[in-house]
Amino acid sequence: MPNLFSPIKIKSIEFKNRIVVSPMCEYSSTDGFADNWHLVHLGARAVGGAGLIITEATAVSPEGRISFADLGIWKDEHIAKLKEITSFIEEQGAYAGVQLAHAGRKASHQQPWNGGKQIQPDEENGWLSVAPSALAFSRSETAPLELDKAGINKVIADFKAAADRSLKAGFKVIELHGAHGYLINEFLSPYCNKRTDEYGGSFENRSRFLLEVIDAVNEVWSADLPLFVRLSTTDWTEGAWTIEDSIALAKVLSEKGVDLIDSSTGGNVAGAQIPLKPGYQVEFAEAIKKHTNILTGAVGLITEAKQANQIIETGQADMVMMARELLRDPHFPLRAAHELGIDFKWPVQYERAKW
């Protein structure tokens, strides 16, 4: 029976355990560049024992950023520092993943500690956001520009170019960000996709954009390396995206070569009522795993070693994606192994320190 510290092999990559550092926006970049903050932030979690460390949402274009301070991978100059970070992570016996993202209508915002409000296109550090339909996220925000076919093709090309740079930067996993009300999620959900062309209306049409992104990414991404997709598996709103939709989509994604669904929820509907409690999203990972052939990652208020281990032992998910607990304690994996009495492969730095 697998446990939290059992290795898991996905395509050519064997992760030493099932603990994943979930993407966490840092809002600490200038012009999309990673810097020493990102090296220390991500590297510390590799030293702490996690098997896979995924970057924050990494924008495939400048206009695809949530804020002007987001990490990016839209130009070749971004590669060098990212390569330094991925190399360090692998030196610790872990692997590095990148979450490729486009913020859609939730772009052009202030950093959270500066209020997080939308910045208007005519203001400093602001630009006009784009989306499937010209519908603002909330009443207080400006409506985005509706993408035409040329705009859609540009975004798809941006994802493809970003995937190619990701390979050159040494990432071993790509996760496509299709959750939390960002562009891919916006296309999927009938709540905010009101298009009448081939990208709107039916489930098949609303899924088309994501599938075309995947096809483009697969043209340059190695067939031997894992490809994940993060989904908001429900919008928590009647008439919007549902877990049944997610299960249907996961079956299609499996046929497209996607290896794992990172099963999150929410973020697409302003004011949605979400029943927060420990492990509140695990049931959605379990449902997708039960009804499809695809691997799943569980997320959402997972904070304790026994809780995380139980998710794996009971087969609710194949990996546990953790964020806030790993912010509080970068060495959670080491502590968890001790609490559970499980021996596992230590980070390289600790192996060197043994005497």
Q: Cα dihedral sign for 323, 329, 333, 336?
A: negative
CA–centroid distance for 33 within its chain: 19
The SS3 of residue 173 is strand
| CB contact at 8 A, 267 and 188 | no
CB-based contact 233:296 (threshold 8 Å): no
**182 catalytic residue (yes or no):** yes
Question: d(Cα 236, Cα 340) in Å, to the nearest integer?
Answer: 34
- What are residue 261's phi and psi, to 5 degrees? -100, 115
- Rounded CA gap, 41 and 24, in Å? 10
Q: Of 27, 95, 182, 191, which residue is the catalytic one?
A: 182
Torsion of CA 184, 33, 157, 117, to 10 degrees: 40
Q: What is the DSSP letter of 14?
A: E
In sequence order, the 6+-apart residues with CB closer than 8 A to the CB of 244 are none
Beta-bridge partners for 8: 15
Distance CA 1, CA 26 (A): 36
Active site residues: 182
